[in-house]
Structure 1
Amino acid sequence: MRVTIVDDNRQFRESLEIYLSMRLGYQVIGNYENAKTFLKSTEVYKSDIVLMDIEMPDINGIEATKQAIWMNKDLHVIAVTNYQDRAYLTTLITAGFKGCVFKNNVFEELNSAINKVNNGEQFFPKNIRLLDTNN
């Protein structure tokens, strides 16, 4: 599976890349510090899964995801974020994210999130799923 990481925190990106490639066996084909650079790359078209931070300079992850999905409707994007506010996270669903993993649980939940999203399912924390089914 081809995964791209978009996050402005270099240390987090590098840790995530090592975890994904060495521990889980995924192929990390892109590692970007901002959404602007990612959107100009070919990884928008080559990735199976994109792990997208939300708060980044220039273009935030929500706007970047909308643009990336417009460019490639088959792209699967998972938010990797610190924000756990229900209203904020509901915005992720409407923006086109297929999943969300909180950064404080990323190493516990990421593999499940990637597998579910790659199989056409969604992966959101329980409070997000409850909100999504009520709409």
Structure 2
Amino acid sequence: MNDTEKISVIIVDDNPSAIEGVKLLLSTYNKFKVIATFNNGEELLNYNNIHICNIILMDIEMPVMGGIEAAKRISFLYPDTKMIAITMYQHRLYLRDILSAGFHGFVNKGRMAEDLNDTINKVNSNKRHYPKDLNI
């Protein structure tokens, strides 16, 4: 699979170790290409090539601009962009916020290794994806 056939991903998280962990996890598959990483939503919104990515993986809680606010703006500016929230929270209150912000799915940080590949594939195929064990 060449780079033009791979699913292009942007990672947004204020924790450099989390970014590196996601990059490492994605590298274990031969179908993802990380095209950019950012430390908060404001940095992401200043990026001129959001429109070329397939998926944005974004933390919810970040300084400067969190994932919910950034997702609302991206949904308005780039309505075809697919976003997946990365969060430690698994409660219906957060699900409502995530859905209303424009995310297409989310992955719990504690289950990244088990769920990230499937979540990206489903969201990239225009499906919504939420954890099976969601506390709703």
- Alpha carbon RMSD of aligned pairs, Å? 1.5
Whole-angstrom CA distance in 2 between matches of 1:125 and 1:113 = 9
Percent identity over paired residues: 39
Instruction: State the partner residue of 2:29.
Output: 24
Query: What are the Cα deviations for residues 54-95 of structure 1, in whole angstroms up to 9, with x where unaligned?
Result: 000011100100111111110000001011122122211121
Which deviates further from its counterpart, 54-63 or 118-127?
118-127
Whole-angstrom CA distance in 2 between matches of 1:87 and 1:10 = 27
Amino acid at match of 1:24: Y
Whole-angstrom CA distance in 2 between matches of 1:43 and 1:99 = 22
Instruction: State the partner residue of 1:40.
Output: 46
- Deviation of 1:127 after TM superposition, in Å, equals 5.8
Contact 1:86 1:127 in 2 (8 A): no
Q: Matches of residues 117-128 of structure 1 in structure 2 within 5 Å? A: 117-126=123-132
Instruction: State the partner residue of 2:20.
Output: 14
Instruction: State the partner residue of 2:115.
Output: 109
Local SS of the residue matching 1:31: strand
Local SS of the residue matching 2:130: coil
Contact 1:34 1:59 in 2 (8 A): yes
Q: With the length of structure 2 as denominator, give the TM-score of the two structures.
A: 0.89
Contact 2:107 2:119 in 1 (8 A): yes
Local SS of the residue matching 1:126: coil
Local SS of the residue matching 2:119: helix
Does residue 99 in structure 1 map to residue 105 in structure 2? yes
Q: Which runs of 5+ in 1 are unaligned?
A: none
Alignment CA distance shift 1:107-1:14 (3 Å): same
Q: With the length of structure 1 as denominator, give the TM-score of the two structures.
A: 0.90
Instruction: State the partner residue of 1:84.
Output: 90
Local SS of the residue matching 1:58: coil
Whole-angstrom CA distance in 2 between matches of 1:68 and 1:3 = 15
Q: Which runs of 5+ in 2 are unaligned?
A: 1-6
